Amino acid sequence: MAVEPEHASVNGRKKPQRPQRTHREVADELRARIRSGVLRPGQRMPTQAQLAAEFGVERQAVRGALRILQSEHLLTNISKGAPATVAERADRAPAGSAAPPQPTTVALAPRIASAFEAEHVHVDAVCLTAVSLTLAMGEPLRQIYAGRLKPAKVDVRVLLPSRSIDLAFPVPVGGRQGHDDPVHERWLAQRNAQGQVLRHNLLALRATHGIDVRVTFRALPFTPPVKLYLLNNTEALFAYYTVTRSEAQIGQESLPTYDAQGVRSMLFAFEQGDGLRDTTFVEQSHLWFNALWETISSELELTD
């Protein structure tokens, strides 16, 4: 019997097996297939045995993944005896109070894709690096290139911290040592790179699809403690940056830092018209964003 390459022995020693995926990782992959239309509303899922074999996990992990997707109203008819079914409206992410708090990597892309169904798309964002926003834009871009979406106009405004301020985070645990701050330089490089990719990908729609696109960045004189996404003047997605101690690998050095993992921040969704609380939050969020944009923010160049 042949031995798989990753498990083959070397000098009589067996290589360690790759770690199994967790039930959350399986759920993330299945969710992406549902959102992208690979698994369509009303379609039967593969059996638990088939999914376990595909992902190389135990059935318990598959059942855990299916339960997560059921709690998100993406699957129905989950039982031991028959495959689950993709929910009829699983291709549309719940909004407002119907949307449970979810990590940014899960919640943002489908909400932005839904926003791109409008003829004139407005996206405003306050964030630290624009990593989550750039990743989330991949979903509507895929749908545009697949011919499923075609807005006439796209306006994107992004507020990011200025390069000239002393950031509250990320920072070395021991504080800055003189003028050289490799943590700050790494953040700046990431901010600029993500902004450039976001702008390039969106502006490319002008040439490829004739869509009127405008992408504008401005710099904040402070470190935002929260991230906020405003979609089409009707939705607000809000999350806290939770600062933790971590290790930053900079060159050959591992440096203790205080930082926040924005892609894992839990997003809370609010929708205008979904009760007084949600409506007021969306309206006040727009007032707050516009006030920053028009007053204390400054021009931002995404350059080194």
**30-59 tens-digit pLDDT:** 887 887 678 888 888 998 889 999 999 998
> Which residues is 269 bridged to in the sheet?
237
**Are the CB atoms for 237 and 94 separated by under 8 Å?**
no
**257-291 tens-digit pLDDT:** 999 988 889 999 999 988 899 999 999 999 999 99
- Pairing state of beta strands 153-161 and 212-220? parallel
pLDDT given at position 98: 64
Cβ neighbours of residue 89 closer than 8 Å, sequence gap 6 or more: 41, 73
Distance CA 86, CA 77 (A): 9
Which residues of the chain have a pLDDT value below 50?
Answer: 1-16
Could you give the 3-state DSSP secondary structure of residue 76?
strand
Cα separations (Å) of 136 from 49, 163, 220? 31, 24, 22
Render 24-55 in DSSP notation, one character per residue: HHHHHHHHHHHHHTSS-TTPBPPPHHHHHHHH
The amino acid that residue 118 corresponds to is A
